[in-house]
Amino acid sequence: MRALYDVPAPAKLNLFLHVVGRREDGYHLLQSVFVLIDWSDTLHFELRHDGQLHRHDLGPALPEDDLSLRAARLLQQRSGTALGADIFVLKRVPWGAGLGGGSSDAASVLLALNRLWGLNWSRAQLLELAPLLGADVPFFVGGRNAFVEGIGDRLTPLEVPVERFAVVKPPVELPTKNIFSSPLLSGRKTDAIVAFFPADDVTHTILQPGFGHNDLQAAAEDQAHEVAQAAQWLRARYGNSRMTGSGSAVFARIKKRATIDVSLTATKLEDDASALASLPTKWAGRLCSSLSRHPLDGWVG
């Protein structure tokens, strides 16, 4: 194999995010449901035999040593391979948004280079590397929508019904460390949902549209009024809104229509699209569908 093209790196939404404790080392303990969506970056890989790793930006310029390069370097070092790669990144998912774009890129790099380099590592082996790159990376390597606990490293796969979302990203980036160090988060703690998982009744509860909240949202809105503005904009149009991750992106569930009339459904889709077209200048918005599996889920056992 000499190359892999059009490798997707999908974003995620946190349907809720509860801070349930804090470790002695300062890391916060979370409970959340992560859901994959069809807003994706695209990566291409070409094999090198000289051991060098190079990233080429096909869209917005990324930091010199971003997560995709760090993921490639880590896999190269741990596997001991003498091979390298040219990595081409077409960035579409906004960063500083809580959508997990950089983490997803890193996971897709691990999955793709594992195949391109012929390493044949198992998912369990790749999952050992994932937390070294970031708290969200294990989820994307895991390949399934999941109930997530700990610092993002404990995954329980969930079957989540396919839903549609309107996702809005105001023109502000929120560093995760700033949100977690906010005084508004100090001492805040939501009781853990359950002491065990899974349980059918609990699964049903946490997937309900109105369940839970995002404990980080108040801190994000305090640091960037645009987050509150985006939440209000979505609520006015869809009747609900919630921030994902540590922000700044906010999403709304698009309620299912009772009718199955194709023409009415098409009209509704047009109305949703036109609503996002009216976003303020420099805001990003997209109508998304959730995914039942990561597109690369079958690439590793």
Residue 198 scores a pLDDT above 90: no
Residue 26: its H or E element? none
Q: What is the pLDDT of residue 277?
A: 82
- Which token pair is 145? 């929508």
State residue 271's pLDDT score: 59
pTM listed for this prediction = 0.91
pLDDT at position 181: 86
Confidence check: pLDDT of 158 > 50: yes
Residue 213 tokens read as: 């909240």
Residues 34-59 have pLDDT tens digits of 999 999 999 999 999 999 999 999 99
pLDDT recorded at residue 27: 80
Locate 11 and state its tokens.
């974003």
Give the pLDDT confidence score for residue 28 in this predicted structure. Answer: 83
16: enclosing H helix or E strand:
strand 3-22
Helix (H, G, I), strand (E, B) or coil at 201: helix
> Residue 24: what residue type?
E
Amino acid making up residue 194: V
- Identify the pLDDT of residue 19: 92
pLDDT value for 260: 44
Give the pLDDT confidence of 58-70 residue by residue, as tens digits.
999 999 999 999 9
Kindly report, residue by residue over 3-22, the tens digit of the pLDDT.
999 999 999 999 999 998 88
Q: Which residue has the higher pLDDT, 288 or 209?
A: 288
Give CA separation, 80 vs 39, 90, 285, in Å.
33, 28, 42
Q: Where are the beta strands (DSSP E) in 23-119?
A: 28-48, 53-57, 84-90
The confidence band for 259, taking pLDDT boundaries of 50, 70 and 90, is very low
Catalytic residue set: 12, 136
Distance CA 101, CA 131 (A): 15
CA distance 97 to 170: 9
If one compares 186 and 18, the residue with the highest pLDDT of the two is 18
